[in-house]
A and B are shown apart, each in its own frame.
Chain A
Amino acid sequence: ASEAFERQHKRRKRDWMKLIYRSTLTPEQIVRGETEQEARIEDDDEDELFKFKSKDQMGTDEVLDQTKEPLSKEALAEWDDEEMLDSIRHLFITGGDTAQGDE
């Protein structure tokens, strides 16, 4: 739980203006919470004149221009938990103020 808190804290401190306007990260990387240092390690391409396109790049699984984000079964499975369902009660008018305090 403390690890999650730590991550949450880190997220909160992120400088969104810098990430959006002054970094070379792709939007997906920003959303995943990567920093520029982490991303740089990944793309240490060899300095060759010609590069082979990797097979998976030529695959049919292309990134579509779509607004609707596909539902992920794993992410939605968290709502199986009754506690989880109760944790957002305070966002509804029927929820009362009590739910907000317990974290």
Chain B
Amino acid sequence: MSAPRPTVLKYSGHEHLRTRLAMSLLSGKPLRVDNIRPDDKNPGLRDYEASLLRLLEKLSNGTVIEISYTGTAFLLKPGVLNGGRVEHDCATSRAVGYYLEPILMLAPFCKKPLELTLRGVTSDALDLSVDTIRTVSLPHLQLFGVSDGLEFKIKKRGAPPLGGGEVQLFCPVVKQVTSLNFVDPGRIKRIRGIAHAVRVSPQFSSRMIDAARGLLNRYVPDLYLYSDVYKGDESGKSPGYGLTLLAESTTGALYGAEALSEPGLPPEDVAQNAARALLSDVRAGGCIDRAHQSMVLVLMVLGSEDIARARMGPLSPRAIQTLRDIRDFWGTSFKVVPVDGDDGDGQLLLSCFGVGFLNSNRTLA
């Protein structure tokens, strides 16, 4: 009770909730969010948001969450990030990617290495699929020196609406993340892909692979798309299929794209959408995958007291909001300048001075 009460950061609305929750837990600043769908027919927090809050409660020690009677406002007093073995059944209205995105920012700063088991939907149209998390998100985390023992396992797949999938995330703890300095996007040297099909004919995978190959073959010979087969109990409760693609450059920049089955959409079209989305991302350029801009920005700020630099393609609306929120939490502004030169069309160079965030939770061993 002797410490001065930290100022509560106030936000309005449910958008950008997850990055704010993560930043609150990292910075130790209480977070208050009001006006959560006040005019909706069904006001207040959704089941998946409540589920995420419960997961964050499990992950930490001493976190207090007070939700208002109507559910349209809550106050989060962050505790200590604990980590360790955590299991959680996610609400199936959102895929596990929804829950994992904020967790990935928090996991390296826990007290104990995280062994997280999540059950629910593994890929849906709204959130990053587990394949993208494994092949794109984790390498982005490795850019910051979080690598030894970082692992992601897809035990079971689960398509919406019923889910039934299970994934495990193992994340080591670090004392401090390294400063990022990534300004050379390089050229694409290889393309990889993972096609999955659960509770439908396994031929769907190969049909997607053939279609994607038809479009991508012209660019690089190092093109390897494989079919990830899950059978029986491991394939969840609902049918579904999808294709995740990633392009890797000579300097290690990654671009990911994915497309999932929709009712009435043949596998060829799913594959074509994924391949075209990948090409759009490649053209946008930069060193960071568009969906991971926010995560990278947050980790850049947390880096050691040094200049962190990253080249990015056109910023997503999320990333812009994250930049604003970072200033609220840590008072750090990024320097954002367009990249000079002919090949840098629309790309930006973002740099900031890290706050030198030290993981004070970490057990000394």
Contact = CB atoms under 8 A, between A and B. Distances in A.
25 contacts: A8-B345, A16-B315, A16-B336, A21-B323, A30-B320, A31-B316, A57-B39, A58-B39, A63-B15, A64-B126, A65-B18, A65-B49, A66-B98, A66-B126, A67-B97, A71-B259, A71-B273, A76-B280, A79-B279, A88-B282, A90-B343, A91-B283, A92-B219, A93-B220, A100-B343
Contacts of B285: 91
Contacts of A100: 342-343
Contacts of B360: none
Contacts of B5: none
Contacts of A70: 125
Contacts of B17: 65
B189 interface: yes
Contact of A89 (B97, B219, B290, B323): B219
Contacts of B37: 62
Nearest to A77: B276
Contact of B187 (A8, A67, A73, A91): A91
Contacts of B337: 16-17
| Nearest 10 Cβ contacts at the A-B interface | A27-B317, A27-B320, A16-B336, A76-B276, A79-B276, A92-B188, A92-B219, A93-B187, A27-B321, A28-B317
B261 interface: no
Where chain B touches its partner, the secondary structure class is mixed
B4 interface: no
B63 interface: no
B258 to A, nearest CB: 8
B219 A66 contact: no
B279 A12 contact: no
A75 interface: yes
Nearest to A66: B126
Contacts of A53: 39
Contacts of B125: 68, 70
Contacts of A88: 279, 282-283
Interface in A52-103: 53, 57-58, 60, 62-71, 73, 75-76, 79, 85, 87-95, 100, 103
Contacts of B314: 31
B335 interface: yes
Contacts of A87: 283
Given A53-B39, A65-B14, A65-B17, A12 B338 contact: yes
